Amino acid sequence: MRRVAIVLASAAAVVAASRPLASAAAPQPRPTFNKDIAPIVWARCAPCHRPGEIGPFPLLTYDDVTRRATLVAAATSRRLMPPWKPRPPAAGESDFLDSRRLTDRELQLIQQWIADGAPEGVASDLPPAPTWTSGWQLGPPDLVVRMPEPYTVRASGPDDFRTFVIPIPTERPRYVRALEFHPGNARAVHHANFGVDRTQSSRQLDLKDPAPGYVGGMVPDARYPEGQMLGWTPGQAPHPSPAGMAWRLDPGSDLVAQLHLQPTGKPEPLQISVGLYFTDEPPAQSPLGLRLGSETIDIPAGQRDYIVSDSYVVPVDVNVLAVQPHAHNLARRMDATATLPDGTTRSLIAIDDWDFRWQDVYRYAVPLALPKGTRLSMRYTYDNSSDNVRNPRRPPARVVWGQNTTDEMGDLWIQVVPRDAATLTQLMQDFRRKARAEDLAAYTRLLEGEPDNPLRHDAVAALYLDDGQFDQAVTHLRRSLALNPASASTHYNLGFALSVRGRQEEAAAEFTEALRLDPDYAQAHNNLGAVLQLLGRTDDALAHYRRAIALRPDNIDARANLAQLLSGQRFAAEAAREFQQVLDVRADHAQALAGLAWIRATAGDERLRNPADAVRMAERAAALTSRRDLSVLDALAAAYAAAGRFDAAVAAVRAGIDLAVAAGQPAAITQLRQRLELYQQGQPYRVP
């Protein structure tokens, strides 16, 4: 038995030695630059590391990469490069478009290649190098706007934050499907954000600064258009808006470009240009930007784990298209989640090593569908100790919320679009309530620290105005004028608040003073005209409306008011032309729709009447105002009567009477009851 055992063992050894080693892994060929590394470098590194771009040296050829092999190994192993901060998505979660993150396999190949001595490989293995687009990546733009003269970024010193204002020459409203930014000198531009200003407020700041642009960020009148996130960072490809979500560009608008500029060691001339791509299709959906964050940040010196958090429960079903986190130097980590009504949690974005220098707009490859009742949450952690290598203060000092880089911020913008377009207004109104409360808390706190700063009083007053707290707004505006009586805009805002409170004589005096200080204040002319019209001074009102339009032909509020006054004075043809010009600019202007519907329904000149158009426009105005506007219901009833739909006319005018009774307007009640009798008799109303 012992011998058999020995023989069996020996036979087994022979068999094992003689058969092929099928289960052993075959040796892998060593990676080479030409076959394995060049495609990775061209895709991940070269978009920034090539001539004319922000990278401080090129990474295009074998010599370029091997010359800095040690640096490449260190930067990639720590995932400092390529700069892509978001944590990889969990299984089943959507990644972001244009991710620059190295895959685990790509990182392994780079490290192995360098460890093996960085072999070049066989020349025939090198694929054709990519052709870099030197012009417009989206093709020839429909319109290109550029700075009229260059700005020179200084050679050294701290980063430069500057805003440039570029008029957009367009004579009619356009719909923009894409925007492409060319920095002109990418090495000097760290990132850019874009707004659109229809008020010329940004232009006035630019004119006061002798150099191109002005120091600082965008003013409140310069806004992202209609929920868009318009920004640029090095290596970021331009993206058209999602289908059906183009944004409206009105005549007289300025493009406002807020740039973070960085010295390179030598003076750098900069002359940015922007390409605009138009479409004739108006948007079918409008995205909305929801901002989570805090404006009451106050970080003590030395604190290592200061937390900022915020949340919001969406009142409607939404799709999340993109996110844009924003903080400054002290932030170390940020995390955002969506908690569904069933308790399921999904990550929106997470960044474990926040770096102020690398911020981006992150667009989901697949939009996130979130149901009504989902809680959106965000959390930032800040380190204001000397251990934070990115802390610019040595020794650390207290840091509070503010727009300057030396201050701190903690925001997360979330771009959403309601799945049902009819719920957009509900979402906008609900979120504005949240945002107003936070802004008011922040600016009230800033005012406490600077009680004699008129601009702080103006800011708080503006928030009270937006919130409908007019008496509180009046208090702060009067305090601001006591500190700075030469502010035309403050007189204007005070006039607005007084007019809303029914104090028309006082309002007229404030608007008049605003115009004494600034005779070309178009909106003050419009509002003074409105107050004078209420006071019965119609000739003076007409003059101010016409002056407002002469100063700003795109001032649709002044045009609508002028048309309303002309219609009341029985200049129906001229009024109809003015109303139509308003609608050419803004098709959903409720006052213009109702005003033109009234003329099409009631004009004594039959050439102006068109009952079908009157009904269409009046019904649209009624929908826009939720049937809660007296003049709109009056126009709707007249339109139904003109079309012979007297039962509908009676119902509409009765709804108007109910509104007038609730508002305590006896003159309107009398007028509407006279119309009711006419419609009950089957007769339309005609203006003599």
Length of the chain (residues) = 688
Q: Which of 627, 566, 229 is nearest to 413 (CA)?
A: 229
CATH number assigned to the domain with residue range 288-418, chosen from the 4 options 2.60.120.230, 3.40.50.2000, 1.10.10.10, 3.40.50.720 = 2.60.120.230
pLDDT of residue 9: 33
User: Whole-angstrom distance between the N-terminal and C-terminal Cα of the chain?
Assistant: 129
**CA neighbours closer than 13 Å in the CB half-sphere of residue 687:** 21
Report d(CA 548, CA 558) in Å as an integer.
6
Report d(CA 176, CA 281) in Å as an integer.
9
CATH number assigned to the domain with residue range 143-279, chosen from the 4 options 1.10.1280.10, 3.30.450.20, 2.60.120.310, 3.20.20.450 = 2.60.120.310
Strand, coil or helix: what is 258? strand
- Model confidence over 225-242: pLDDT tens digits? 878 888 887 767 788 888
More confident residue, 54 or 37: 37
pLDDT of residue 111: 94
pLDDT of residue 450: 87
Report d(CA 242, CA 246) in Å as an integer.
8
Read off the pLDDT of each residue in 391-404 and give the average, rounded to a whole number.
88
The least confident of 134-148, 208-222, 599-613 is 208-222
Parallel, antiparallel, or unpaired: how do β-strands 362-370 and 318-327 relate? antiparallel
Is the pLDDT at 638 greater than 80? The verdict is: yes
Neighbours of 659 (CB within 10 A): 20
Dig out the tokens for 352 from the structure. 């474990």
More confident residue, 132 or 27: 132
Is the pLDDT at 70 greater than 60? The verdict is: yes
Does the fold of domain 288-418 match that of domain 143-279?
Answer: yes
pLDDT of residue 598: 95
pLDDT of residue 134: 67
Domain boundaries, the chain: 33-125, 143-279, 288-418, 592-688
- Model confidence over 177-188: pLDDT tens digits? 999 999 888 888
Q: Which of 304, 366, 355, 295 is nearest to 325 (CA)?
A: 355
Mean pLDDT taken over the chain: 89
Answer whether 395's CB lies under 8 Å from 386's CB: yes
- Model confidence over 417-453: pLDDT tens digits? 998 877 888 898 899 888 888 888 878 887 888 899 8
Q: Residue 13: which pLDDT band, with cuts at 50, 70 and 90?
A: very low
pLDDT of residue 235: 66
pLDDT of residue 302: 96
Report d(CA 642, CA 636) in Å as an integer.
10
Report d(CA 382, CA 401) in Å as an integer.
12
What DSSP letter does each residue of 118-175 carry, written as one string? -----GGGPPPPP----S-TTSS-SEEEE-SS-EEEPSSSS-EEEEEEEE---SS-EE
pLDDT of residue 118: 93
Asked whether the whole model's pTM tops 0.75, one would answer no
pLDDT of residue 505: 97
